[in-house]
Amino acid sequence: MTVITAEHLLTRVRDLLAAHPPADTDRADFLRARFDAGLAWVHYPEGLGGLGAPRSLQSVVDTELEAAGAPDNDPRRIGIGLGMAAPTILAYGTEEQKQRFLRPLWLGEEVWCQLFSEPGAGSDLAALGTRAVREGGSGDWIVDGQKVWTSSAHTARWAILIARTDPALPKHQGITYFLCDMHAPGVEVRPLRQITGEAEFNEVFLTGVRVPDAQRLGAVGEGWAVARTTLMNERVSIGGMRIPREGGMIAPAAAAWRERPELRTHALHQRLLELWVEAEVARLTGERLRQQLVAGQPGPEGSGMKLTFARLNQEISGLEVELLGEEGLLYDDWTMRRPEGVDFTGREAGYRYLRAKGNSIEGGTSEILLNIVAERVLGLPPEPRDDKDLAWKDLNR
Amino acid sequence: MTTAAAPTDLLYSGTEEELRSAVRALLTDRCDAKSVLDRAETGRPHDPALWHTLAAGIGTAGLLVPEKLGGQGASHREAAVVLEELGRAVAPVPYLTSAVLATEILLGCDTAEAAPLLRELASGSTVCIPAVPLTLAPGAPLPAPVRDHGGGVLTGTVTSVADAVAADVLLVLADTGLYAVPAASARLTPRVPLDLTRPLATVTLEAAEGTLLADAGTARAAVAGALLSGAGLLASEQLGLAEWCLTETVGHVRGRHQFNRPVGSFQALKHRLARLWLDVASARAAARAAADALATAAPDAPLTVAVAQAYCSGVAVRAAEECVQLHGGIGMTWEHPAHLYLKRAKADALALGTAGHHRGLVADFVELPAP
């Protein structure tokens, strides 16, 4: 196998741009051509949107295409598909599943959502109770249960789903992973209104939903291992945002300080400076982590990044509300909206303050992540657990 | 000033506990979280029927008013207990604004013109709201946005007036004195509040006619005194709010199972809640000290109030933030009342002076100057 280099990729990008000049090409046509040229995600195999190149070379392609004004595939809108479903399908899917799902996923023609969390199984995800029972004649699975915190469920065409297929086994063993058709009969999506007034998320009710066995991902009862692949990719994508100096939440707070001298007090000054320094250090830690990854020396810092950003986002946005004085008493809009993604900069300080409260809950609570740091990074012994070997049906819930 | 503290009673008396029981029973029946949220969503959060029972039925509106003016002749200590319970319920009633701030302004004026209005306030038949921004702090310069064109014809705009939409009468601090203005003759522009349970409006006066209650010097001293009382008593609202958050959260983590056991059995959560309990216990001491200092007109009342505000604001916000966090996903929803408490706690942290402002006052009072 030839080793793909940056020069090789640049040649391919220029060939693509020459054959499909962005200015004269339909967006969807351009994206299809890009996928078929192996420039969608270069580390994926040939024929699946990639070239088997090192993952770190993706930025070469992205930078060149952006400079040429090429359209992108709106990665924010399809973040769950790109960040979670795709790597899991790539790792565990059959050849048919990869051919069927990866191309429309990357093109954004099919939006994905994630049917993992349940009302009774959030941090303790493996305790999930949604059942999938195999039908004798057809071999199809019949799924019943309720999921929650499902972003994009109302726009999604497909879902990654984990369900319990053997309640007599310990909780990690009786789980199977499926690809679920969100248009199948028995799938009901209801908006879940949040503290901010909007509804980013949904509750999803599954009642007698039929899932063909061909949509199972991985072996029966092996779903927890498959789900771990998804979850590791989720935390990478949450902690992996690159921000400039004084980017993120500190930006509007610092701007308000500079533009509104009448709001300044000594007490706020001290707190603002502390948080500015902490935000800058967090940015540098993230940057160092990225450099370590590129150099092939992944460090444990990643486990802490989400914790750090959750705390900082909350403290900075809380400070910003106070800094604004009388205006801090106001809110921009309580209308129930259905945003496509979280936009911290498009709304006002009160929104940032309330939405940031979710940062320490979503994608693993800060308490769970601290446990992970303590146990996996520091090597501290785990708290005693009696749930690992008990049959799921015998657990206290 | 000397820092020798006046003798202080930080406990609750039997009478205060009886008052608490009466208020809590009423709020349990008539002010559950769901009805508060339902009201807040209509954009008219106040509950006039609840207010009537609380103010007139139980007689809490007149606690600070002497008996000779038709009040209860009680003190800030009793009013503080009422505010603890109102905070615990995030109750949408204009108690802090009408029964505390407006009442204290009128008492501070001590004029024949103010007396009839005080009688109405004490009976709970009239809601009177001071037309000042909720963020106005004791010890800060008083703004004078309203001009008297002569004979009490008033023009001006005041922003962020809490509970103005519930007012029958507005107390307006103009350049020539304090005026009572019928709310109907002012233009009220409601704003969208962070705290859904305490609405805000911009009050605009366009040649509105007011009745003079006190001259400018008297009025400004009365408003300054009322801000001090209001800030001191707000600490009790913050205490009640924090206590609800702690109790509710402890109840939740005792019942919620993850990893085959109650999440409250995890040491990480136990320690957090234990720390919060210590903070709430400290907040209670600070809030009681402020109420007692105001009730006894202690010489160090301004310092005690500043200490209470500098401390209790932060505890209330942190308690509400912990409540959201430790409820997990449930705490982030609109359906669970935790958000109402967080919004009230955060708005309370700005009301009547931020913790930072009050720390600045502490620095002045105890002569620990900035560099």
The CATH number for A311's domain is 1.20.140.10
Asked casually if ipTM beats, i.e. exceeds, 0.95, the reply is no
**Structure-block tokens of residue A157:** 């065409």
Predicted model pTM: 0.84
pLDDT of residue A237: 52
Mean pLDDT of A2-9: 85
**Is A234 assigned a catalytic role?**
yes
Instruction: Tell me which chain A residue has its CA closest to the CA of residue B257.
Output: A397
Euclidean distance between CA atoms B52 and A89, whole angstroms:
63
Question: Is A122 in contact with B135 (Cβ distance < 8 A)?
Answer: no
How many Cβ atoms sit within 10 Å of the Cβ of residue A167? Answer: 14
Question: Is A314 in contact with B321 (Cβ distance < 8 A)?
Answer: yes
Residue A213 has pLDDT above 50, yes or no: yes
Mutation site, B132, B160, B254, B258, interface A, largest A CB count within 10 A: B258
Put simply, whether A361 touches B (Cβ < 8 Å) is yes
Mean pLDDT of B360-368: 87
- The answer on A178 and A48 residing in a single domain is no
Residue A190 has pLDDT above 50, yes or no: yes
Question: Is B333 in contact with A193 (Cβ distance < 8 A)?
Answer: yes
- The answer on A41 and A132 residing in a single domain is no
Mean pLDDT of chain B: 94
**pLDDT > 70: percent of chain B:** 98
Please give the tally of structural domains in chain A. 3
Question: Is A322 in contact with B354 (Cβ distance < 8 A)?
Answer: yes
**Residues in CB range of A354: below 8 A, 6 or more apart:** A195, A196, B339, B342, B343
- Yes or no: say if A64 and A39 are a contact pair by the CB < 8 Å rule: no
CA distance A397 to chain B (A): 6
Question: Is A371 in contact with B355 (Cβ distance < 8 A)?
Answer: no
Decide: helix, strand or coil at residue B238.
helix
**Structure-block tokens of residue B333:** 């929803």
The answer to the question of residue A1 being in a domain is no
- The answer on A200 and A124 residing in a single domain is yes
Mean pLDDT of A52-57: 87
- The answer on A174 and A129 residing in a single domain is yes
Question: Is A396 in contact with B261 (Cβ distance < 8 A)?
Answer: yes
**pLDDT > 70: percent of chain A:** 97
Euclidean distance between CA atoms A103 and A113, whole angstroms:
16
Euclidean distance between CA atoms B81 and B16, whole angstroms:
7
pLDDT of residue A282: 85
A-chain CB neighbours of B350 within 8 Å are: 321-322, 325-326, 328-329
Residue closest to A84 by CA, chosen among A144, A166, A142, A150: A150
CA distances to A72, A266, B102, B252, B360 from B310, rounded to whole Å, are 51, 14, 23, 29, 9
Mean pLDDT of A316-320: 96
pLDDT of residue B6: 62
Instruction: Tell me which chain A residue has its CA closest to the CA of residue B161.
Output: A326
Mean pLDDT of A137-151: 95
- The answer on A326 and A253 residing in a single domain is yes
Question: Is A329 in contact with B350 (Cβ distance < 8 A)?
Answer: yes
Mean pLDDT of A94-99: 97
Instruction: Tell me which chain A residue has its CA closest to the CA of residue B330.
Output: A119
- The answer on A272 and A183 residing in a single domain is no
A-chain CB neighbours of B360 within 8 Å are: 265-267
Mean pLDDT of chain A: 90
Angle at Cα B358 formed by Cα B354 and Cα B363, nearest 5°? 145
Question: Is A385 in contact with B200 (Cβ distance < 8 A)?
Answer: no
Angle at Cα B59 formed by Cα B55 and Cα B65, nearest 5°? 100
Question: Is A266 in contact with B328 (Cβ distance < 8 A)?
Answer: no
Torsion angle, CA of A378/A383/A386/A389, rounded to 10 degrees? 0
Mean pLDDT of B64-82: 97
- The answer on A45 and A30 residing in a single domain is yes
- Yes or no: say if B158 and B203 are a contact pair by the CB < 8 Å rule: yes
Residue A131 has pLDDT above 50, yes or no: yes
CA distance B266 to chain A (A): 8
Mean pLDDT of B67-86: 97
In sign, the C-alpha dihedral spanning A136, A157, A30, A45 is negative
pLDDT in tens, A246-270: 888 999 999 999 999 999 898 898 8
In sign, the C-alpha dihedral spanning B181, B184, B185, B188 is positive
**Structure-block tokens of residue B95:** 């108690």
Question: Is B329 in contact with A117 (Cβ distance < 8 A)?
Answer: yes
Euclidean distance between CA atoms A98 and A41, whole angstroms:
14
Looking only at Cα atoms, what is the longest distance across chain A?
A: 75
Q: Which of A110, A200, A234, A320 is catalytic?
A: A234
Q: Which of A157, A188, A221 is the last residue of a domain?
A: A221
**pLDDT > 90: percent of chain B:** 85
In single-letter form, the type of residue at position A123 comes to S
pLDDT bin (cut points 50, 70, 90) of residue A239 is very low
pLDDT bin (cut points 50, 70, 90) of residue B249 is very high
The answer to the question of residue A204 being in a domain is yes
A-chain CB neighbours of B134 within 8 Å are: 326, 329
pLDDT of residue A236: 57
Put simply, whether A237 touches B (Cβ < 8 Å) is no
pLDDT of residue B181: 98
Euclidean distance between CA atoms B328 and B330, whole angstroms:
5
- The answer on A275 and A355 residing in a single domain is yes
Euclidean distance between CA atoms B83 and B237, whole angstroms:
5
Surface of B (133-172) touching A: CB under 8 A: 133-135, 159-160
Euclidean distance between CA atoms B268 and A92, whole angstroms:
36
Residue A52, domain extent: 6-72
**Residues in CB range of B91: below 8 A, 6 or more apart:** B27, B31, B36, B47, B50, B54, B85, B197
- The answer on A306 and A361 residing in a single domain is yes
Euclidean distance between CA atoms B201 and A368, whole angstroms:
43
Residue closest to B55 by CA, chosen among B4, B1, B115, B127: B127
Residue B7 has pLDDT above 90, yes or no: no
Surface of A (321-350) touching B: CB under 8 A: 321-322, 325-326, 328-334, 350
- The answer on A231 and A282 residing in a single domain is yes
Question: Is B194 in contact with A329 (Cβ distance < 8 A)?
Answer: yes
> According to DSSP H, which parts of chain A are helical?
6-19, 27-36, 58-67, 79-80, 86-92, 95-107, 223-239, 250-259, 266-294, 301-323, 349-356, 366-372
Surface of A (240-279) touching B: CB under 8 A: 265-268
- The answer on A90 and A112 residing in a single domain is yes
pLDDT bin (cut points 50, 70, 90) of residue A1 is low
Question: Is B160 in contact with A371 (Cβ distance < 8 A)?
Answer: no
pLDDT bin (cut points 50, 70, 90) of residue A60 is confident
Residue closest to A234 by CA, chosen among A306, A282, A293: A306
How many distinct helices (H) and strands (E) make up chain B? Answer: 11, 10
Burial class (CB in 10 A: 0-12, 13-18, 19+), A74: middle
Put simply, whether B193 touches A (Cβ < 8 Å) is yes
Nearest CB among B133, B134, B349 relative to A322 is that of: B349
Mean pLDDT of A325-344: 88
Angle at Cα A375 formed by Cα A370 and Cα A379, nearest 5°? 135
Nearest CB among B134, B260, B360 relative to A266 is that of: B360
The answer to the question of residue A344 being in a domain is yes
- Yes or no: say if A279 and A212 are a contact pair by the CB < 8 Å rule: no
pLDDT bin (cut points 50, 70, 90) of residue B1 is very low
- The answer on A156 and A267 residing in a single domain is no
The answer to the question of residue A37 being in a domain is yes
The answer to the question of residue A251 being in a domain is yes
Question: Is A397 in contact with B257 (Cβ distance < 8 A)?
Answer: yes
Surface of B (316-335) touching A: CB under 8 A: 317, 321, 324-325, 328-329, 331-335
How many Cβ atoms sit within 10 Å of the Cβ of residue B271? Answer: 10
Euclidean distance between CA atoms A387 and B130, whole angstroms:
59
The answer to the question of residue A383 being in a domain is no
Euclidean distance between CA atoms A274 and A387, whole angstroms:
42
Instruction: Tell me which chain B residue has its CA closest to the CA of residue A201.
Output: B333
Put simply, whether A363 touches B (Cβ < 8 Å) is no
The answer to the question of residue A387 being in a domain is no
Euclidean distance between CA atoms B350 and A350, whole angstroms:
13
Euclidean distance between CA atoms A259 and A241, whole angstroms:
27
Instruction: Residue A188: give its domain's CATH number.
Output: 2.40.110.10
B-chain CB neighbours of A197 within 8 Å are: 334
Length of chain B as a residue count: 371
> According to DSSP H, which parts of chain B are helical?
14-30, 33-42, 48-52, 76-88, 103-109, 115-123, 216-255, 267-295, 301-326, 338-350, 355-365
CA distance B328 to chain A (A): 6
pLDDT of residue A238: 47
The answer to the question of residue A392 being in a domain is no
